[in-house]
Structure 1
């Protein structure tokens, strides 16, 4: 039995910086069963956005003539080179993390799967490690429902490893992963069909956002099947896959490959039944406002605590825990304003509440709305799909939320995020002077025309 001052399970966006921070205070064991860097580096943000960038180049080339550029030959996606570029980028990140661990005399890296033997005992590779300070950062992984286990399938993990371009990719799931991959592979040259169980894509968003995202995909010839239920998938003799839905009427689609765009937390391998740590019904670890579980000294950060499924929320969990351990306790999960992006092209940037959430919470709402096709910078870039809108509390004049679905939306949304954290009224942005010609310069103009929503 080996004692450490601190044990960290997982080297994701919370576990890695925490390891380096805690190594200044004592001996740290960090355990990783997969690739260093966690989901973001290996299967999530970085590799998928690398593919988004390649897909964007395909779009630029295919639309060259609209900008006065003569293209003599059609472009073709070279999946081998796209994969190589992705591997080079994430390989550099992984190497940097490993080098940092190995060169730090207070950090011991264990390669293997960890599970709890008791509250403060961790078993990895047959060795038992103990500590009164344990930090879980195990992330999430693709979920494979029983109805698909009998057919060949892709997940977001192995799809990023293929060098063969699917002829027709059927995507099960209409949320972030499914929508991003749909546009990527359609631009690479695959036929793509999304099979969504609900009545719209990105169900956490307002209906107008979901509708516009669907229209953007449809404009690029992505097919979408809504309200799919009782889904059955069958592998045919020629290797193709047929997916059938039977909810309202039978809908059948046959493709060459299936992508399961569904996720789940990586908590089932931890053997938490040997501890007093509690899980909720969805398999997420229950934590308080400081990421602490029901067992004192044991914390859960990142995807596995269900408090945010994004890299930036995972890193903020690290900051919350670091603040707690220092005794300052200046950061809390409940202080966090939800913000995220959907990295389609054009992207969606979201902060705070949706319109539906604001109304359900009883706010008197003022709405500012402007379509992207009325913004000159969007016109000259040839990217006029989408809109920007802000949700204002009529009583306090503070932002309740905002979304920018359009060119630059993933970057511009940060300006509104900062204002919300500063608790400044919308008039601060309305009266500011912005650079011309930009997309963000229309935010002040948009805020001059507020209309009651309810």
Structure 2
């Protein structure tokens, strides 16, 4: 039986990053993966969706070339070529992870991993053969999959989840999307940009409901302007797939109505991949579908750890990576501080993009803070106007008493690349005046951060 210092179950952005850091720290390391290196994020999530969205952006530019003084005749898309490009990007990234495994001398064990008593992992390969491996430390990073609601049974043909949505053989003429989190709205934007008639159904009062209310309202306006039908305060009661397409019965404030489409995409959250991996046999504590861990990702059973989507933290790729690094550095005896989950950035890559960190204005007021709130619209940004992307704004929230940067919320072109300034500023405990006095380059979209802070302190110049 092969013996390792660390075995990681799963090779997503949590698992493979964890394995690399473990190897860097001198641990003999192995990764168990039942499908493709890179996991869902790299193969079916973060990366290939961004490739689809880039194609949508280029196509949108072509359709609106006249706005930039250009003439483009007969611009059209090849849906299958767009999908194939996305798959090619994902395949290339997966090969990159293979290279990193070899470079860092990490053994890749193909098959389905199951944790066992005695710090062992049983791996079942594609032929059904089982092999046991042992390690001093076993880290579970098996991720999650699309959640399935009883009212929305996924058949993979007419009612689909995100994996199928990015690899359809034929572009649908009409699509219903249930759920308006990042997955729902990113696909909503992509298919709308490609020419599909899209309807988004959201149970809560606003699209992207975890965001600041001002952002949600702006986002809804932008989606409606783009021709997407938005139905909030609405619930899909049932679906009928017996006919040619799909019929969804939707409960709204005005009563029930039936929506018809070729495809319904269920984007109602995730379900962790913790079934049949041995947790019950070991007695590892699970609560509400998540493995319970301490600040350094140890489970209640010594020698067994869990990171990423299977734990109670935010189900985000960058969080999984950070958790894995923290976990193995603690195992190595390093002086490690716990992750600050109040300073995790969230990004949505639709058009417009959304990026946020920290508290919303509502949450900050509910906690009793006296606030200074500033907002700067991109319609007043020279760079945004020149780029033809004036929609959106930057909103900042500060504690009036001590100047603490409580939250930052952005919506507009390229904001997912801008939010790191707020994350770093908050990490370094910067104040509003320090941000204001940090000179930002002109003309850039990033100036809007400085201008929003200036607005909060009644020093704004360009409004």
Distance in 1 (CA, whole Å) between partners of 2:380 and 2:21 is 48
Q: Which residue of 2 aligns with 1:117?
A: 116
Q: Per-residue deviation at 1:227?
A: 1.8
Distance in 1 (CA, whole Å) between partners of 2:27 and 2:193 is 50
Q: Per-residue deviation at 1:223?
A: 0.6
For residues 408-432 of structure 1, the C-alpha deviation after alignment (integer angstroms, 9 at most, x for no partner) is 2111211121111111111112122
Q: Which residue of 2 aligns with 1:245?
A: 250
For residues 131-185 of structure 1, the C-alpha deviation after alignment (integer angstroms, 9 at most, x for no partner) is 2300011111112223232753221112212231111111111111001100011
Structure 1 residue ranges without an equivalent (≥5): none
Q: Contact 1:119 / 1:295 at 8 angstroms: preserved in 2?
A: no
In the alignment, is residue 87 of structure 1 matched against residue 87 of structure 2? yes
Distance in 1 (CA, whole Å) between partners of 2:208 and 2:66 is 32
How do residues 23-42 of structure 1 correspond to structure 2 at under 5 angstroms? 23=23, 25-42=26-43
In the alignment, is residue 213 of structure 1 matched against residue 219 of structure 2? yes
Note closer, same or farther for the CA distance 1:150–1:311 as it changes in structure 2 (3 Å cut). Answer: closer
Distance in 2 (CA, whole Å) between partners of 1:361 and 1:297 is 38
Q: Contact 1:76 / 1:188 at 8 angstroms: preserved in 2?
A: no
TM-score with structure 2 setting the length: 0.92
Aligned residue for 1:430, secondary structure, equals helix
Note closer, same or farther for the CA distance 1:5–1:436 as it changes in structure 2 (3 Å cut). Answer: closer
Aligned counterpart for 2:370 among listed residues 364, 368, 374: 364
Distance in 2 (CA, whole Å) between partners of 1:360 and 1:193 is 33
How do residues 145-160 of structure 1 correspond to structure 2 at under 5 angstroms? 145-149=149-153, 151=155, 152-160=158-166
Aligned residue for 2:190, secondary structure, equals helix
Q: Contact 1:12 / 1:38 at 8 angstroms: preserved in 2?
A: yes
In the alignment, is residue 108 of structure 1 matched against residue 107 of structure 2? yes
Aligned counterpart for 1:375 among listed residues 381, 392, 398: 381
Q: Contact 1:301 / 1:314 at 8 angstroms: preserved in 2?
A: yes
In the alignment, is residue 413 of structure 1 matched against residue 419 of structure 2? yes
Q: Per-residue deviation at 1:87?
A: 2.0
Q: Per-residue deviation at 1:4?
A: 2.6
Aligned residue for 1:186, secondary structure, equals helix
Aligned residue for 2:455, secondary structure, equals coil
Number of residue pairs the alignment of both structures matches: 448
How do residues 43-192 of structure 1 correspond to structure 2 at under 5 angstroms? 43-73=44-74, 75-102=75-102, 107-118=106-117, 120-125=119-124, 126-149=130-153, 151=155, 152-192=158-198
Q: Contact 1:285 / 1:306 at 8 angstroms: preserved in 2?
A: yes
For residues 284-304 of structure 1, the C-alpha deviation after alignment (integer angstroms, 9 at most, x for no partner) is 111111111112222111111
TM-score with structure 1 setting the length: 0.93
Distance in 2 (CA, whole Å) between partners of 1:323 and 1:69 is 54
Q: Which residue of 1 aligns with 2:127?
A: none
Q: Which residue of 2 aligns with 1:264?
A: 271
Q: Contact 1:289 / 1:334 at 8 angstroms: preserved in 2?
A: no
Aligned residue for 2:403, secondary structure, equals coil
Aligned counterpart for 1:429 among listed residues 418, 424, 435: 435
Q: Per-residue deviation at 1:7?
A: 1.3
Distance in 1 (CA, whole Å) between partners of 2:50 and 2:292 is 31
193-202 vs 439-448, greater mean Cα deviation: 439-448
Distance in 2 (CA, whole Å) between partners of 1:360 and 1:120 is 46
Aligned counterpart for 2:281 among listed residues 258, 264, 274: 274
Q: Contact 2:308 / 2:315 at 8 angstroms: preserved in 1?
A: yes
In the alignment, is residue 12 of structure 1 matched against residue 12 of structure 2? yes
Q: Which residue of 1 aligns with 2:332?
A: 326
Distance in 1 (CA, whole Å) between partners of 2:60 and 2:233 is 30
For residues 105-124 of structure 1, the C-alpha deviation after alignment (integer angstroms, 9 at most, x for no partner) is 5x332211122333623221
In the alignment, is residue 296 of structure 1 matched against residue 313 of structure 2? no
Q: Which residue of 1 aligns with 2:3?
A: 3
224-233 vs 22-31, greater mean Cα deviation: 22-31
437-446 vs 207-216, greater mean Cα deviation: 437-446
4+ residue runs over 6 A deviation: none
